[in-house]
Amino acid sequence: MNIRSEPKTADATCCLFFCLVAFFLLPVVSTYGQNDTIDQNESPGRYVSLFEDDDILDVSLSFDVARFLKKEDRDQSIEGTMTFHLSATDSIDRKVTVRYRGQSRFERCRYPPARITFKKPLYEAPDTGRIKKIKLVNQCQGGSVYGDYVIKEYLVYKLYNVLTDTCYRARLVRLNINDSERKRRSITQYGILLEPEEMLEQRLNLLEVKAKNVSMRHMYPKMIDRIAIFHYMVSNWDWSVAGQHNIRVFTSLDPGLGGMGVPVPYDFDLTGVVNAEYAIPPPGKGIETNRDRLYLGICRTREIYQEELMAFLDKKDEFYSVINDSPYLGKAEKRDIISFMDQFFYRLEKPRSLESLIDYLLVNCRDLQ
């Protein structure tokens, strides 16, 4: 994990909480790899690498589409088949169950996000265990505009990956949706597969914390500050550590983390980078559009804010390369995102505007010390 050292600012209660979590779950961590590696009596068939490649992956999902679109039962499971097309002549099939996930997109989207459970697991590699469940982000609606929204959301995941490897890995897919009942024609749209929590845990030697009664002051300072500034940069108001809304919290046995929480963000469809037409801030947020930036981070000193903002400025070229090098987004969409990002970086490049931005952060931060 990319972590810079910093004096610990959390209180003793917070450190004790996560240390106790780590202590009592130590047996789970130590045996995790054994439990999730291949059983001697279970053959993986073959390995498939979903998150080591940035090329778009063709995936087919065949199931009862009409039943899925009706959304009559929020908790229903729909049987189907998922096919990963690894090349023109090579593919892997899996029997799956499809369930809805998320709340806001379930309510407003024709094609809500889904959680896919494999009847027979996929295996990423011999040392990374098996994939039993995976999150799928679909296009909210049909059409190229909503396809661009998915590509942009995928790029937000890649932007965050510029800052740290303590993130969800994402894979852009070309999703072919086929009706198993043969009552609807097949459609093709973009989608995103998200790294399962179990893979993230094993890759980074972390353990997910299920408790919801945590706040930003329980988090490792550098990490939560980075997330808060990142969300300000991409203009995202739809996140909160409290209740773990679009944030998952993990803990680690690494003594360098001081027994503190490791937050990992996800679901970026309401960001200003995506700029979806449905991304309307709710009343009371103090902003009118999804491109009005809002800082939701914890209060720090002026010196800490300046250090963190300069760390973002150092990564400017890498951020812009993520956008400009995307082969799946048109020139106009790229120019729009770069222009939006310019508004943030301009304030970092000019001393007077940098001081003004830090003044804004100091006034609008959350005092949770």
Work out the pLDDT band at 24, boundaries 50, 70, 90: very low
Q: What is the pLDDT of residues 34-56, one digit of tens each?
A: 344 444 445 566 788 899 889 99
Work out the pLDDT band at 129, boundaries 50, 70, 90: low
User: Can you tell me the mean pLDDT for 6-33?
Assistant: 44
Residue 354 has a pLDDT of: 98
Q: How far apart are CA 70 and CA 111, in angstroms?
A: 10
Residue 77 has a pLDDT of: 95
Q: Give the chain's mean pLDDT.
A: 88
DSSP output for 108-158:
H-SS--EEEEEEEEEES-TTS-EEEEEEEEEPSSSSHHHHHHHHHHHHHHH
Residue 320 has a pLDDT of: 98
Does the structure show a pLDDT above 90 at 9?
no
Q: Could you confirm whether domain 12-28+207-364 is CATH 1.10.3470?
A: no
Percent of the chain with pLDDT over 90: 73
Any idea where the domains of the chain sit in the sequence? 12-28+207-364, 57-199
Query: Which of 319 and 1 is assigned the larger pLDDT?
Result: 319
